[in-house]
Amino acid sequence: MEIIAKLDKVSYIYENCQDLVLKNISLDIYKGEFLGIIGPTGAGKTTLSLVLNGIVPQFYGGRFFGYAEVAGLDTLTNPVSKLSRYVGAVFEDPETQLLATSVENEIAFTLENLCLPREEILARIARALAAVRLEGMEKKQPNELSGGQKQRLAIASALALQPALLILDEPTSQLDPVGSQEVFATVKELNRILGMTIVMVSHAAEEMAQQADRLAILEAGAISALGSPNQIYSQIEQLERASLRAPQVAKTFWAINSRGIALEKIPVTLETGLAILPSLTSYYHRPVWQDPPSINSNILLKAENLSYTHSNGTEALKNISLDICSGEYLLIIGQNGAGKTTLVKHFLKLLSPTKGSVSLKGISLENLSTSELALSIGYVAQNPDNQIFNSTVEKEVSFALTNLGYPAKEIKEKTCQSLESMGLLEARNLHPLSLSKGDRARVVIAAILSMDPEIIIFDEPTTGQDYQGAKAILEMTRQLHQMGKTVIVITHHLYLMPEYAQRVVVMGQARILLDAPIRQAYHESEILAKTYLVPPQEVLLAQELARLSGIPSPLLTSAEIAASFDL
């Protein structure tokens, strides 16, 4: 097979750093293949992809060892602008990679830099837009596009260069399930139909298992495993040791296998998993599960006939009525633009209803200010950095208490308690921004806890986190729930939530489509589909088991499914 890119004993250290980010990496990338790169945060995945387009080391400096070439060009000696003709790149954040004010100008930008004639630019724009199915949107502004469309535009602008290799670094991590599906479908088409070589860094295990030809695991800067998705994702224990997540279907069948039911191989895609299930139904007995304790009926937050219309006339919320009770763990899900964040902003009085009302413990929010509400409701935003304003962790945590006029002694006590509960006592004198992203989120939570609110809202807490990071944050939410707090989580990562949430509110088209216990909500596939959500693979496997066995199987996790199998 023809090699399109080659890394030979590549090692790299960033400027002013001492540790190697990449360690002796040798890798051949073949023409027309889809290579997936997986690994925990900090493993060097982004650095590796930046080596392929010469940005490392040409832009970052540092010390580079070994040899890397793409399309026969040495990435060390050929300028990035020349390499960019052969290597297209798409990054994680759709906002920072779109530079122009219209779709066509976005695609044209690189071609203009390469001094292509106008006629050629026009022809390439048409071809690139057709390849990502964005025809007819030439004159639209990028900020009018959805997240998935923005990433497809970023792909189109890379494609217009007609690159031999397309690198995508976490292109779906900030997208909702629909956007993510759009991007994977587009990349799949480019790879299978146009034969384009793809290198994709992603935590989306289910999609990578489906799409990639080969997977490389990167751990601490070195490749620890390289093989087909079947070879890589069926090694559940090895993945867990590397702090990685296997596709849910692989995890489920591995758990079944661990109960002594011998399987020829562990399936890694849903299709293969569903195909194996009929041969296992004889081992499937009455499903077992445990429901969470019943919810307290003491209403804390109440929204009545709540409607909200934006100044441009868009109806963001339509006639929402919702009761949230003390001590609940509530999950709010739905596609982008479904109204989730708009609803939560009404609870915080960051928005005021166009119609209807919201009350907290029977008191209308009309009579309370946002700063007064902060005593009862804490809010953790998606990006914790936007909630950090102080020079030390301790000052950050005591910030709210100072604002609220607490006496100095009480501020000290409450700050200490909050720091201790989040395990930050030793970091109290450090600058918050010197901590890891996970720890920065802990600082924000500690700051909110110091006010001792009854309700804590987490808005997309797991976005941009790897599996371990996401689990660590969700464990924190569990801890808070066990402390008696009412927890509200907004997320797109449905597969992470069965162990935590009790109740689910499904939003779509600015309305509540469903409000039910999680065990019921996750199995309402048709309602979820209305807001472009797909149940986790474990739920789909449970549904297939119910169909095959005729036994109702409202199961949610791989552990529950495996426990229902016996020799």
Contact call for residue 296 and another protein (CB under 8 A):
no
Tell which positions 33-52 bind another protein, by CB under 8 A: 50
DSSP 490-517: E-S-GGG-TTT-SEEEEEETTEEEEEEE
Residue 391 C-beta: closest distance to another protein, Å:
8
Q: Are 152 and 134 in contact (CB under 8 A)?
A: yes
Answer whether 270's CB lies under 8 Å from 252's CB.
Answer: no
Least distance to another protein from the beta carbon of 6, Å?
Answer: 20
Residue 345: CA atoms inside 13 Å, Cβ hemisphere, count?
A: 13
The C-alpha atoms of residue 492 and residue 359 are separated, in whole angstroms, by 27
In whole angstroms, how close is the CB of 486 to another protein at the nearest point? 16
Q: Please select the residue that binds another protein; options are 41, 319, 390, 392, rule is CB under 8 A.
A: 390
From residue 230 to residue 259, the character string flagging contacts with another protein as x (rule: CB under 8 A) and all else as - is: ------------------------------
Of 16-24, 83-91, 231-239, 330-338, the window that binds another protein (rule: CB under 8 A) is 83-91
What span, in angstroms and rounded, lies between the C-alpha atoms of 189 and 184? 9
CA–CA distance from 196 to each of 161, 210, 211 (Å)? 12, 17, 13
Using the contact rule CB under 8 A, the part of the chain among 105-113, 180-188, 244-252, 299-307 near another protein is 105-113
Q: How far apart (Å, rounded) are the C-alpha atoms in residues 138 and 136?
A: 6
- Contact criterion met (CB below 8 Å) for 564 and 286: yes
Told to check if 164 binds another protein by CB under 8 A, we report no
96 binds another protein (CB under 8 A): yes
Structure tokens at 529: 């589909």
**Looking at this protein, which amino acid is placed at residue 126?**
A
Exactly one of 132, 236, 448, 494 binds another protein (CB under 8 A); which one?
448
CB 549 to another protein: min, Å? 49
Asked if residues 455 and 483 have their Cβ atoms less than 8 Å apart, the reply is: no
Q: Which is nearer to another protein, 126 or 551 (CB)?
A: 126
Alpha-carbon radius of gyration of the chain: 25
Question: What Cα–Cα distance (Å) separates residue 120 from each residue in 108, 116, 161, 287, 463?
Answer: 10, 6, 11, 62, 39
In terms of Cβ atoms closer than 10 Å to its own Cβ (0-12, 13-18, 19+), residue 132 is buried
The Cα–Cα gap between 170 and 464 comes to: 9
Q: Which stretch binds another protein (CB under 8 A): 104-112, 245-253, 488-496, 547-555?
A: 104-112
- Residue 290 as a binder of another protein (CB under 8 A): the answer is no
Using the rule CB under 8 A, is 143 a contact of another protein? yes
Which is nearer to another protein, 92 or 328 (by Cβ)? 92
Q: Is 76 in the site for another protein (CB under 8 A)?
A: no
**Does the protein bind another protein through residue 369 (CB under 8 A)?**
yes
Question: Does 84 engage in binding with another protein (CB under 8 A)?
Answer: yes
Binding residue count for another protein, defined by CB under 8 A: 67
Residue 85 interacts with another protein (CB under 8 A)?
yes
At closest approach, how far in Å is the CB of 546 from another protein?
44
| Contacting residues toward another protein, per CB under 8 A | 50, 53, 55, 59, 80-81, 84-85, 87-89, 91, 93, 95-97, 99-102, 104-105, 108-118, 121-122, 125, 141, 143, 157-158, 311, 348, 350, 369-372, 374-375, 378-379, 381, 385-390, 399-401, 403-404, 433, 447-448, 451
